[in-house]
Amino acid sequence: MVVAEVPKLASAAEYFFKLGVEGKRFRPTVLLLMATALNVHIPEPTAGGVGDTLTTDLRTRQQSIAEITEMIHVASLLHDDVLDDADKRRGIGSLNAVMGNKLAVLAGDFLLSRACVSLAALKNTEVVSLIATVVEHLVTGETMQMTTSSEQRCSMEYYMQKTYYKTASLISNSCKAIALLAGQTAEVAMLAFEYGKHLGLAFQLIDDVLDFTGTSASLGKGSLSDIQHGIVTAPILFAMEEFPQLHAIVYQGFDNPENVDIALEYLGKSDGIQRTRELAMKHANLAAAAIESLPESNDEQVRKSRRALVDLTQRVIMRNK
């Protein structure tokens, strides 16, 4: 899907889909598991084998959502790296560092347009609307991050809203799209959405922890990158509740490296990391609860996929990269 006529654009668009730098493929994994977890077994028709073509066609359409989601995700990474002036991504040079900002922006645009074509081909207006909203959310979240007032920087509520837009909206709305394509009820679609939302929030909260605790090698990007960019995340927000004197430091911002050191010192003395992990666990458990609330099924494949989705909620918490 990412093949382009112009060689330069082709190599830029394919940059993060190449073997070795394809990333964790976390989102497509979740979506393909969700597809199986929700697919009610269509009874075998007596003649013509129509049931089978129905299920394979549905699977292809759901797989399309996984592809679209991954392309939107990678496009957002390419654009974010330009905005952040990042030089590393997934352990290699970022596309903007290797090929320049202009090509990185165009490659992101190209991936988004390919995702749009693929989305249109599904001919499902509700699904198109969901995924279009996701792209709007990615832009909104990134803008919220760039343009915070001092009050907003210190607000847990603002931070969680921004995190939903930047990280959780994509996975939650894609999970919902998988349910809608399967012809599920509004209730089941909502449970799929809730799973994605809480999993996405847990995922990002752990990312925020790893930004402080993870080693650069295992994280694939320089540790402390958030705070050095002046981005205040959950661990610091929790530390501020314990040490109000941190407010003054956060107000001043982190252009001064001394302020980063002071903030890290307070963070070390506080329960910030622990409380962020606990909040992530809360969201992981809510995600697991959504799966456990799905209508019961005796189909072994369905049950297996649901167990895997529940298992993923714990893996998200325990990971160190």
Q: What residue ranges define each of the domains in the chain, with the CATH number in brackets?
A: 7-16+26-37+60-318 (1.10.600.10)
Buried b (16+ CB within 10 A) or exposed e, 106-124: bbbebbbebbbebbeebeb
What average pLDDT score do residues 217-233 get?
A: 68
CB atoms inside a 10 Å sphere around CB 252: 13
Q: At 8, is the pLDDT very low, low, confident or very high (cuts 50, 70, 90)?
A: confident
244: burial class by Cβ within 10 Å (0-12, 13-18, 19+)?
Answer: exposed
How would you class 260 by CB atoms within 10 Å of its CB: exposed for 0-12, middle for 13-18, buried for 19 or more?
middle
Q: What is the mean pLDDT of residues 63-70?
A: 94
- Rounded-to-10 torsion of CA 268, 271, 277, 278: 180
pLDDT digit string, tens, across residues 77-119: 888 888 877 787 777 777 888 778 888 888 889 899 999 999 9
* Beta carbons of 23 and 90 less than 8 angstroms apart: yes
Rounded distance between C-alpha atoms, residue 238 and residue 275, angstroms: 7
- State whether the Cα torsion 179-180-182-186 is positive or negative: positive
Radius of gyration of the chain (CA): 21
Q: What is the pLDDT of residue 154?
A: 83
pLDDT digits 0-9 by tens, 132-191: 999 999 999 999 988 888 788 888 999 999 999 999 999 999 999 999 999 999 999 999
Q: Which pLDDT score, from 0 to 100, does residue 41 have?
A: 55
- How far apart (Å, rounded) are the C-alpha atoms in residues 319 and 203? 9
What is residue 293's DSSP assignment? T
Residue 225 confidence (pLDDT) above 90: no
Mean pLDDT score across all residues of the chain? 87
Question: Helix H segments across 147-245?
Answer: 150-153, 156-163, 169-181, 186-213, 216-219, 225-228, 234-242
Quick check: 220 pLDDT over 70? no
Share of the chain above pLDDT 90, in %: 53
Please say whether the beta carbons of 234 and 156 come within 8 A: yes
